[in-house]
Amino acid sequence: MRFSLPTVLYFGTWSALLAAPVLLVALIIMGQFSPDAVREAFPTVPVSDVQSDEQIIFAGLVGLVPWGIGAWVLYQVQALFALYRNNRALTIEAALIIRNIGVGLVLIAVAQVVTRSVQSLMLTSANVAGERMLAIQFGFAQVGLVLAAGLMVVIGRSMVEAARAVDDMRGFV
């Protein structure tokens, strides 16, 4: 049996979607969301000893927001590969999915910046006045995501127009 690239990518994305919750459970079991692990993940943030363990763990879990958006993007990618597998790559549906992928990538970039800021604020909320911290981190990774997202949105919009033109041409034939 011969596998085409869209088929391999389709099953690869499904495998990743199924592995993600398993990985999350494994990380929780390994203690990656324990108060000590969260403190280690934020070495420059002065976490007060008064801060409760629950607050610290919740601050760590807030960091999963971009992962949730990423899972949605991965689901969109899987749906796109399903269309490619079924020879429906040049359809309006595929174009809209490509646009959704671009929007999702923008949301991931924004969520990374916002969640990191919220986490620093949460971790220092029990500190005395003057020691609370709001850290905003924006780097090349977010710029790259926004650029890739812009490209995906433009490709998606172009494909919508192309698919509509093809549909119009079919009406004449």
Unique residue bearing structure tokens 């993007």: 73
Query: Distance (Å, rounded) from C-alpha 80 to C-alpha 77?
Result: 5
What pLDDT is recorded for position 126?
Answer: 86
**Residue 85 near residue 4 (C-beta atoms within 8 A):** yes
**Residue 56 near residue 35 (C-beta atoms within 8 A):** yes
**How do the domains of the chain map onto residue ranges?**
5-172
**Residue 83 near residue 91 (C-beta atoms within 8 A):** yes
**Residue 123 near residue 63 (C-beta atoms within 8 A):** no
pTM across the whole model? 0.84
End-to-end Cα, the chain, rounded Å: 37
**Residue 64 near residue 140 (C-beta atoms within 8 A):** no
Is the per-residue pLDDT at 138 higher than 60?
A: yes
Residue-wise pLDDT tens digits, 12-66: 999 999 999 999 999 999 999 899 999 898 888 888 888 888 998 999 899 999 9
H or E segment at 51? none
Report phi then psi at 12, rounded to 5: -65, -45
What pLDDT is recorded for position 2?
Answer: 63
Residue-wise pLDDT tens digits, 85-116: 998 888 899 999 999 999 999 999 999 999 99
Query: Distance (Å, rounded) from C-alpha 132 to C-alpha 134?
Result: 7
Structure tokens, 114 = 């916002």
> Residue 1: pLDDT band by 50, 70, 90 thresholds?
very low
